Chain A
Amino acid sequence: MAKDFGIGAEAKRTEDIRYLTGAGNYTHDVNVHGQAYAVFVRSNMAHARIKSVGAAAAEGMPGVLAVFTGEDFKDVGGNPAGWFIGSRDGSPMKEPKRPVLAHGKVRHVGDAYAAVIAQTYMEAKDAAQAVADASEFEELPAIIDMAQALADSSNRVHDEIADNQCFDWGWIEDNRAKVDAAIKAAPHVTTLELVNNRLIPNAMEPRASIGEYNPGTGDYKLTTTSQNPHLTRLLVAAFVLGIPENKLQVVAPDVGGGFGSKIYHYGEEALVLAAAKKIKKPVKWVAERSESFLSDAHGRDHVTKIELACEKDGTFIAFRTETMANVGAYLSNFSTVTPTFLHGTLMAGPYKVPNVYVNVKTVFTNTAPVDAYRGAGRPEATYSLERVVDQMCRELGLDPFEVRRKNFITTDMFPYTTPAGLAYDVGNYHATLDKAIELADVAGFEARRTASAAKGKLRGLGLSTWIEACGIAPSNLVGILGARVGLYDAATVRVNPTGNVSVMVGAHSHGQSHETVFAQIISDMFGIPMSSVDIVHGDTAKIPFGMGSYGSRSLAVCGQAMANAADKVIAKGKKIAAHMLEATEAEIVFSDGVFAVSGTNRSKTFGEIAFSAYVPHNYPLATLEPGLEETAFYDPANFTYPAGTYLCEVEVDADTGKVDVCNFTCADDFGNVMNPMVVRGQVHGGVVQGIGQALLEHGVYDENGQLLSGSYMDYTMPRADDVPFVTVDHSCVTPCSHNKLGVKGCGEAGAIGSPPAVVNAVLDALNRGGHKIAHIDMPLTPSRVWSAMNA
């Protein structure tokens, strides 16, 4: 039977059936016989010394089985940062221990300092309240503002870190003097000071974990909300609890969104495992939404000064950036790479600018840890670049479209190494710009603006041209940059005796559609129906050691690993076919599911080869092994570099400052596209997260370190009536040059390219309306816009 939906088809998603019928299997849906429940006791102060933990108050309460405090984990390991980043002066980054439960001090509101295990959830919750009531603290002044934190050594998040600074990083430090000189000599310099607002990821499924322990075998099992079960296993087993990795199975079943926040290992995962061993029962924990707000890793939170030096005609000479990046109270796993190598290396954008220098100081504060959130560093880079370019155009009276055209790297310049250290392999930035202009009907903008004006609305058009480095890998490069892990991925393709295929992949799908898209690729390569292919993911006992899904890497890294394993299967199939057809291997050709002797009508179907592989009655065993199963580990040669142009049109209500997004248009180059429907869906979601950042969302701490936006009443999530339809085009294709699929990755693009397009549109509307405003910080709430208009 031939393939049905191959590469490039708009195949409907196979995973949808279980989700649409209530048959999904999320961690909260998993119940293990005899399970007890964990509830965490979390600090309501941002910064305090723990004088005593009232664990005794819970003992003897109904149903209580155990109480854990920081004392119980003081001798096990800490949850480490995944990347080592050095300071400009050569000193190492400051890396305080991140314990399972806070010990000695609590460092942010929501920092867990105890956990209660009880027979029922309600009993655990009641006892946790008793522990909280009986605990005593010496409250310390909260350290919230980054500049103050750096300046004031008398108050420290970690007692051993005098200036609350993790590191002071320069990129590329050797270029600093040259960039300074170029800016000093430049005919024009535009300077902007920007806040990239703190965001709270808010995957709709709160985090949850179930720990199990079998005293008979010493085996542990962790069922958890993770984007990368092997990474979590490595961290919790080898770094935190000291469990041999082979004795810990980590299962991430259906996961209800991640956006970065479920990459990381969190202390709750270690706690449920330790507790399960101690009380000899499975232990389940499910976060309440308020716990998610307080304890999930947040995103962004940069304060940046960016300068763009240029000729009077808009030709770029230099970009220089100084950024303070908040890492919160502890270093989350990717917190040190996000503001550095995922940000600083992108500060040339898609432009042929000769000089780039970036300085990033990372700062500890009494806030939740900050880490990678959809886009991770690249939205911050794109926002700074595209805002300052837009402002420069306004200052010099230049056309923002023409300035981009003038400065884009041109197609004849690839491969192109930027002064920020990346080697872009392919691209066509003019093509996506032209496509976006066409799709957004820029020619008709003036007429629409006039129509808006007739309604009393200010209309504006905002442009953003973005590029990212994604397909996060390759190991040899990230190793040089400070990664403590490799960033390859892996897949095993197992052809079963009856000719259907099980594919075990290291990537994890939590909305990305791997079960469909990866099956399309296998269907295409093997010439079999998609329904004969199962994609297995999320269980360390089943899959090869892969690094999971983030950084738009699933397809470009794991997908290519899978394709390589499938190629190995085809090569083995040719050997089997040669044996069966009494030909040489070189004579066998494989096409559309049939192995044939070239130039003859002698052939075997894929299914016949599969069956033979497992019923090898007459195999020449010295030269041909039974079985048809292959594994490939794939470590790419480079990042991939998707890029594109986003155009946003807004109307601003001059009386209230309210912004309505009227049209949003994306023209992206993702390389080859495996399933256009899925790609469009990824962009829709990313763009709306970006519109959320630009207009609605803000994680706000007050000066005492209380999270003011800690619920859906206070943290404004984009809702259906806040956003328009989004026009998405991916017809401009320059295939990635270093993976065979020619793919680049599309998961983060929308969130990277959209915030500056929205903000530029609002400022365009205001300036066209006679309000001379250089910048408004995100989120552009009605209050902020109105205040800027009426300052």
Chain B
Amino acid sequence: MTKVTMTVNGKSVSAETEGRTLLSSYLREGLGLTGTHIGCDTSQCGACVVHIDGVAVKSCSVFAQDVAGSKVTTIEGMANTDGSLGVIQQAFQDHHGLQCGFCTPGMVMSSAALLASNPKPTEADVRHGLEGNICRCTGYHNIVKAVMAASGQDVAAVAAE
């Protein structure tokens, strides 16, 4: 067991880990941050996406020890400092971009990374940018709308409804 220290959501944290401990397990079991979900174990579903030093990464594909000293942001760190929803989170609620909520943390984290690199994405940009995240509930319609809305675009006319 090795003590691994990193900065998670702005706070320095430590937990004992084995060499084989994945970052997703370190966050969930070591730190109790269960907002990061595990949906597939094989880095294909995207429910476990977090940011490592600002880059969106599937945390089930990274050993905790390999990111010691990094700055990690999880879904628990995405709200505003007063506890209200951040812009992307609020857009997901406003546009019904989630149903069961299980893929949602990964969707929000991937969307945040997408918007950081592409502040005004087209529909195609959003769909391409989120193709590493699987959602079984929403059909992606309202997720795409939410991300475009979070970028400040008017989505009222995106699809007739």
Contacts and interface: CB of A to CB of B under 8 A. Distances in A.
Nearest to A663: B159
A28 B35 CA distance: 11
Most buried by B among A205, A711, A727: A205
A689 B136 contact: yes
A21 B135 contact: no
Contact of B93 (A13, A204, A729): A13
B92 interface: yes
Interface string B35-64: 111111110110100000000000000000
A204 B45 contact: yes
Nearest to A291: B41
Which of B37, B79, B92 has the most CB atoms of chain A within a 10 A radius of its CB? B37
Nearest to B36: A22
Interface stretch (A336-344, A363-371, A715-723): A715-723
Interface in B80-100: 85, 89, 92-94, 96, 98-100
A19 B141 contact: no
Given A684-B138, A687-B139, A711 B44 contact: yes
Contacts of B138: 681, 684-685, 688
Contact of B47 (A29, A204, A678): A204
A390 to B, nearest CB: 24
A289 B41 contact: yes
A71 to B, nearest CB: 30
Nearest to A20: B89
A727 B160 contact: yes
A713 interface: yes
B136 A203 contact: yes
Interface string B65-78: 00000000011101
A712 B45 contact: yes
Nearest to B103: A204
Interface in B141-156: 141-144
Interface SS of chain B: helix, strand, loop or mixed?
loop
Contacts of B23: none
A21 B79 contact: yes
Given A21-B85, A725-B159, A204 B139 contact: no
B137 A20 contact: no
Interface stretch (A173-181, A254-262, A775-783): A254-262
A689 B39 CA distance: 18
Contacts of A513: 99
Contacts of B94: 12
- Max chain B C-beta neighbours (<10 A), residue from A29, A204, A725: A204
Interface in A173-203: 202-203
Contacts of B130: 719-721
A680 B96 CA distance: 10
Interface string A443-467: 0000000000000000000000000
Given A257-B136, A712-B134, A720-B131, 16 more contacts: A12-B93, A24-B34, A24-B101, A28-B37, A29-B34, A204-B134, A205-B37, A255-B100, A257-B100, A257-B137, A288-B41, A512-B99, A684-B142, A718-B140, A720-B143, A721-B127
26 contacts: A19-B98, A20-B85, A22-B33, A22-B74, A22-B75, A26-B34, A29-B28, A204-B102, A256-B37, A257-B100, A257-B137, A259-B136, A513-B99, A677-B96, A684-B138, A687-B139, A688-B138, A689-B139, A711-B40, A719-B131, A720-B127, A720-B135, A720-B143, A721-B124, A723-B139, A729-B160
Interface of B: 18, 20, 28, 33-42, 44-45, 47, 74-76, 78-79, 85, 89, 92-94, 96, 98-105, 108, 123-124, 126-128, 130-131, 133-144, 158-161
